[in-house]
């Protein structure tokens, strides 16, 4: 039997292929430095583990409300007041099975087959592939290092867009939109009748640039966030959305049918994550040290073409002086130097052959070892 055209249109997530190969080499006894996956190395905070253990003893952990357990929705709503001074009703908060489910829900609820959604290129590959799987048209918006890899107000015009998805801080580039630029982009989208979806999964992981939520500029913007990055809960698969009131019931119906509810234990654990900022900020300080180290040391070994990192924990480097095939380059780097990174082709099908992404979410010792190995290999 044939597979569907939708399935055939979805490209592999190359970073996961790299992670699988790196794991295979490790099982064979080869030491690998991991810089391929955007995964905090420390694991969940102590309070998160304790909350999960308590839930195992005291909670039924059966099906829960498709929109999320009320205490978590209320705490997320309070987070917006505390962090951004924005009032959000808990009813507008929808807990999801990671941000991945949130994107699927948003695309399905907001757009019909064949409608056009703009994406900055380079960008997170799952955006493109989920859009294709839901029969939506991807409109690539090319960006460059000169404009810090960010879309502009002019990019909203003349493209016939029905939606625009913007990430700030961005993956893979680590760049951010200053609040005034984000405000201008949100306003231009609203005025043009373009649905604005804001990926804010790397909020709290910023390096000297103020962060803003799109809700500060438009209460009808759709916000997507997750407990995976700053909160170090990747495998717990719990994220959230903030949506306009008009979308609450449609999204509830979709959630009920697509996955019933986000795992209860993950939700109870996520609730405790808001009380773990001291421990989480200590981990953030490690990323900050790693960032400073790599931005200084990578140029010394020849990887010297990348934009300063405003947020997240990635460096998106131009390696075209070494190769015109970054997939081959990262594959050889893994096998010959024992350093796992990600080809830029994951994020940009047009110019990604010139770039690689390096995650600095590990330890400083791992960053130093990576620089040592790459210096010898290059």
Neighbours of 372 (CB within 10 A): 15
Query: Structure pTM?
Result: 0.94
pLDDT, tens only, 93-114: 999 999 999 999 999 999 999 9
Q: How confident is the model at residue 41 (pLDDT cuts 50, 70, 90)?
A: confident
Q: How confident is the model at residue 273 (pLDDT cuts 50, 70, 90)?
A: very high
**Residue 6 confidence (pLDDT):** 77
Neighbours of 10 (CB within 10 A): 16
Contact of 223 with 203, CB cutoff 8 Å: no
pLDDT, tens only, 284-304: 999 999 999 999 999 999 999
The dihedral formed by the CA atoms of 168, 294, 377 and 329, expressed in degrees to the nearest 10: 0
Residue of 300, 342, 331 whose CA lies nearest to 171: 342
pLDDT, tens only, 165-195: 999 999 999 999 999 999 999 999 999 999 9
Neighbours of 286 (CB within 10 A): 19
High-pLDDT (> 90) share of the chain, %:
89
Residue of 259, 233, 199 whose CA lies nearest to 64: 259
Would the CA dihedral through 75, 76, 82, 86 be positive or negative?
negative
Reply yes or no on whether the pLDDT at 163 is more than 90: yes
- What are the chain's domains? 5-44+278-377 (3.40.640.10), 46-275 (3.40.640.10)
Average of per-residue pLDDT values in the chain: 95
Long-range contacts of 18-26 (CB under 8 A, 24+ apart): 18/330, 18/334, 18/340, 18/341, 18/342, 18/343, 19/340, 21/331, 21/334, 21/340, 22/334, 22/340, 25/334, 25/335, 25/338
- What DSSP element (H or E) covers 226? strand 222-226
Neighbours of 198 (CB within 10 A): 27
Residue of 163, 152, 241 whose CA lies nearest to 196: 163
**Residue 59 confidence (pLDDT):** 84
Would the CA dihedral through 253, 256, 259, 262 be positive or negative?
positive
Residue 51 burial (CB < 10 Å; 0-12/13-18/19+)?
Answer: buried
Reply yes or no on whether the pLDDT at 321 is more than 90: yes
pLDDT, tens only, 356-369: 999 999 999 999 99
pLDDT, tens only, 115-132: 999 999 999 999 999 999
pLDDT, tens only, 49-98: 999 999 999 888 899 999 999 999 999 999 999 999 999 999 999 999 99
- C-alpha distances (whole Å) from 340 to each of 143, 297, 357 are 26, 18, 10
Distance CA 69, CA 41 (A): 28
**Residue 330 confidence (pLDDT):** 97
Q: How confident is the model at residue 15 (pLDDT cuts 50, 70, 90)?
A: confident
The angle formed by the CA atoms of residues 269, 99 and 256, to the nearest 5 degrees, is 80
- State phi, psi for 195 to the nearest 5 degrees: -70, 125
Residue 59 burial (CB < 10 Å; 0-12/13-18/19+)?
Answer: middle
Distance CA 131, CA 110 (A): 12
Contact of 349 with 278, CB cutoff 8 Å: no
pLDDT, tens only, 133-151: 999 999 999 998 888 899 9
Provide the token pair at 243. 């949506």
High-pLDDT (> 70) share of the chain, %:
100
Describe the strand order of the beta sheet including 239-242 as a list of residue ranges.
Answer: 93-96, 239-242, 222-226, 195-199, 163-167, 116-121, 137-142
Reply yes or no on whether the pLDDT at 29 is more than 80: yes
**Residue 60 confidence (pLDDT):** 85
Reply yes or no on whether the pLDDT at 5 is more than 80: no
**Residue 11 confidence (pLDDT):** 77
């Amino acid at each position: 039997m044939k597979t569907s055209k939708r399935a055939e249109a979805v490209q592999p997530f190359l970073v996961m292929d790299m992670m699988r190969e790196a794991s295979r080499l490790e099982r064979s006894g080869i030491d690998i430095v991991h810089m391929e996956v955007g995964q905090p190395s420390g694991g969940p905070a102590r309070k998160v583990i304790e909350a999960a253990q308590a839930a195992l003893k005291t909670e039924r952990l059966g099906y829960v409300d498709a929109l999320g357990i009320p205490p978590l929705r209320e705490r997320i709503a309070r987070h917006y007041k505390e962090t951004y001074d924005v009032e959000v009703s808990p009813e507008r908060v929808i807990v999801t099975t990671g941000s991945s489910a949130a994107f699927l829900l948003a695309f399905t609820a907001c757009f019909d087959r064949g409608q056009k959604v703009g994406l900055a290129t380079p960008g997170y590959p799952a955006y493109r592939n989920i859009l294709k799987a839901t029969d939506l048209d991807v409109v690539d918006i090319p960006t460059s290092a000169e404009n810090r890899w960010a879309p502009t107000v002019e990019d909203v015009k003349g493209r016939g867009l029905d939606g625009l998805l913007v990430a700030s801080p961005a993956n893979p580039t680590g760049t951010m939109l200053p609040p005034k630029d984000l405000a201008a982009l949100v306003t231009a989208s609203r005025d043009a009748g373009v649905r604005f979806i804001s990926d804010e999964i790397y909020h709290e992981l910023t390096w000297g640039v103020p962060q803003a939520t799109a809700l500060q500029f438009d209460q009808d913007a759709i916000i997507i966030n997750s407990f995976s990055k700053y909160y170090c809960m990747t495998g717990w698969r719990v994220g959230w959305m903030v949506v306009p009131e008009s979308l609450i019931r449609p999204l509830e119906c979709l959630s009920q049918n697509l996955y019933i509810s986000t795992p209860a234990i993950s939700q109870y654990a996520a609730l405790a994550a808001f009380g773990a900022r001291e421990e989480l900020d200590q981990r953030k300080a490690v990323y900050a040290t790693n960032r400073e180290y790599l931005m200084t040391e990578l140029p010394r070994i020849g990887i010297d073409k990348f934009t300063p990192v405003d947020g997240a924990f990635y460096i998106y480097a131009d390696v075209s002086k070494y190769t015109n095939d970054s997939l081959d380059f990262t594959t050889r780097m893994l096998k010959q130097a024992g350093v796992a990174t990600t080809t830029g082709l994951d994020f940009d099908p047009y110019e990604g052959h010139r770039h690689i992404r390096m995650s600095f979410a590990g330890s400083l010792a791992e960053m130093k070892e990576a620089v040592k190995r790459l210096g010898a290999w290059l």
